[in-house]
Amino acid sequence: MAKQTSANSAKVATKVASVAVALGLSLANLAVAKVLATVDGVQITEADFDEIKAQNPSFEFSKLTKEQKQELVNQAVNNVLIAKEAQKSSLDKSAEFTQAYNKITKRIKDNLLVNIWAQKEVQNIASKVTVSDQEAKAFFDSNSAQFSKPNVHARHIIVKTESEAKKVIDELNKTPKNKVEQKFIEIANKQTIDPGNKQAQNGGDLGNFSKDQMVKPFSDAAFAMSAGNYSKTPVKTDFGYHIIYVIDKADKYDFEKIKEAIKQMITEQKVSEEMQKKVDSLRAKAKVQLSL
């Protein structure tokens, strides 16, 4: 939802973090996979659709309509039947199959090795990186123009349909005012389709942001609200339908409130730079010839 503002130097760490999230979700699904169909003793579970989630992190099988679920499951049933039919013809023992299978297996193995290596390197580097309050303050002061903008600290819940968003708002409307934020947090952790917030279980907390950091419909709605209130109508963007809760508003950023976020950003940048140095070192030792 936020505009793409991250620097190129943060891409390696971001990519590795995404891989870690994907692996974590995959393992979790395997542990509690719900059986959706059985074909001649072969079970089809939600975990069988992890490939879709790997390509589209916002994919949630449980959020699909009944018709969409049926279509996916029926496709999976057909695939099982076709695979069984192919095995009857011993296609799984053919040279063509073996060659293709070995290529895929090697690619998966290589990708897994790269991901595990990167995760371990990131963890190792991050454990040695320290960012002092003085360093964070220096960054804050040297980017005074960026941090002098009006900003909002907000939470959000994002769902796929307007009707879902209205149901969330109805539930918030029935909640006593002094308990609305807690209810908002509970709903966000359970229902949001924002992959980052869902994984973090942080109640949809977006931190502080200025108006130009979010897409216009979202920013317009958030900045029009006062602290302690939530949007009474769904806010539509290209990502879905949002319900926004404004925690706080300010004319400029307060260093103490965003100090930890700045430290985290500097840490990620340092980790990314060190990762790039490691990769550059590996390339320097190898004989690389591009044939484009």
Alpha helices in 32-94 (DSSP H): 50-55, 66-88
Q: Predicted confidence band at 1 (pLDDT cuts at 50, 70, 90)?
A: low
- The DSSP result for 155-195, as a single string, is EEEEESSHHHHHHHHHHHHTS-GGGHHHHHHHHHHHH---H
- Map tokens 């290209």 to a residue: 238
Q: Which of 12, 67, 80 has the alpha carbon at shortest distance from 41?
A: 80
Cα separation, 101 vs 164, in Å, equals: 43
111 domain-assigned: no
Averaged over 28-38, what is the pLDDT? 65
**What is the C-alpha to C-alpha distance for residues 52 and 40, in angstroms, rounded to an integer?**
24
| pLDDT number for residue 17 | 38
Residue 169 belongs to a domain = yes
Residue 60 inside a domain? The answer is yes
Instruction: Decide which of 93, 118, 141 is a domain's last residue.
Output: 93
Lowest mean per-residue pLDDT among 26-35, 53-62, 82-91, 271-280: 26-35
Give this prediction's pTM.
0.62
Q: How far is CA 115 from the centre of its chain?
A: 17
The pLDDT-based confidence of 33 (bands split at 50, 70, 90) is low
The CATH number given to whatever domain includes residue 233 is: 3.10.50.40
Tell how far CA 26 is from the center of its chain. 13
User: Does 81 lie in the same domain as 168?
Assistant: no
Residues 6+ apart with CB under 8 A from 236: 162, 217, 242
What's the pLDDT tens digit per position in 37-88? 999 999 999 888 887 877 787 788 878 899 999 999 999 999 999 999 999 9
Whether 263 maps to a domain, the answer reads no
Please check the confidence at residue 21 and state whether its pLDDT lies above 50: no
- Residue 23, domain extent: 9-93
